Amino acid sequence: MSFIGSMFARTDRMFDMAVAMNRDLSAHVPGSIYAAQELRGAVNRCMFCTDANECAKLVKTEVHLASAPEYCRNREFLQRLPTL
């Protein structure tokens, strides 16, 4: 998979994790520069995660998660998001 393809796959997985946690990522992107920087940081953390395969399995099998797993590099970021 190309770097760009990997980036899109990891970004999709981050969104899937937010959905499984019933978190609203769209509420985090009001258009401010700070919000965009924080979201980019979250995508970068996901890009360099060493547990991507575990995460992919988790978001495919779990319909609802109370929180992101311990290994998730975006756990705190996702917990701060408002619920849907």
| pLDDT in the model for residue 51 | 93
Q: For the chain, which residues make up each domain, given as ranges?
A: 3-80
Q: How does pLDDT run across 25-60, given as a tens digit for each residue?
A: 877 655 667 777 888 899 899 988 999 899 999 999
Round the average pLDDT of the chain to a whole number and report it.
87
* Residue indicated by tokens 């920087």: 37
Tell me the average pLDDT across 65-83.
Answer: 93
Residue pair 74/46 in contact by the 8 Å Cβ criterion: yes
| pLDDT in the model for residue 55 | 92
Helix, strand, coil abundance in the chain, percent, nearest 5: 65, 0, 35
| pLDDT in the model for residue 9 | 85
Q: Tell whether the model's pLDDT for residue 72 goes beyond 80.
A: yes
